[in-house]
Amino acid sequence: MHKIVCAACGTGYFHVRSDQGFNCDHCGSLIYPRDVSLDGSEVWAVDSAGTLGHVKDPAVSREEMTEALEEWLTSDDETSEKYALTTFINAAIELRDALRAGLPYPADA
C-alpha cells in the first residue's frame, strides 16, 4: 500500500479519525473520503495502523493477471513470454497488496 502524503505540509501521512475522516500526523490537516481523488484503477484503503493509502483496485489487478496469462499461453516468442510473465507477477503483487490492505477478493464478473 502506498501511503497518501498530506498536500498541505508535504511530509505527514493521514490517519483515521473516529468521525470517518483522516488527519495529518504532522500538521493536523483534515480530509474525508470524498476528498480523496485517485485515478480509475486505484482505490483507497486503511492499513492496520490506521494510515490512509491507495492500492490498485483488486478487480483491475485480477483482469491484468488474466490478460497476461492469456498472452503467455498464446505467445510464440520468448520475449513476449517474458513480458507476459513479468506483467502477471506485477499484477499478482498488486493484488496481494490490496488483499493485505483488507480489500476483498474481486467477485467473478
If you write DSSP's letter for every residue of 84-98 in order, what string do you get?
A: HHHHHHHHHHHHHHH
Q: Are residues 49 and 6 in the same domain?
A: yes
pLDDT score of 96: 95
Range of the domain at 14: 2-56
**Average pLDDT value over all residues in the chain:** 93
Question: What is the number of domains present in the chain?
Answer: 2
Section 24-41 average pLDDT: 91
Alpha-carbon distance of 68 to 59, in angstroms, equals 14
19 exposure class (CB count in 10 Å sphere: 0-12, 13-18, 19+): exposed
Q: Are residues 67 and 42 in the same domain?
A: no
102: left (phi over 0), alpha (psi -120 to 50) or beta: left
Residues β-bridged to residue 56: 42
Instruction: Answer yes or no: is pLDDT of 18 > 80.
Output: yes
Residues β-bridged to residue 103: none
Q: Are residues 73 and 91 in the same domain?
A: yes
Q: Are residues 6 and 50 in the same domain?
A: yes
Q: Are residues 66 and 51 in the same domain?
A: no
Q: Are residues 83 and 72 in the same domain?
A: yes
SS3 45: strand
CA 50 to chain centre: 16
Look at the pTM and tell me if it is higher than 0.85: no
Q: Are residues 20 and 30 in the same domain?
A: yes
Provide the pLDDT confidence category of residue 109 given band limits of 50, 70 and 90.
Answer: low
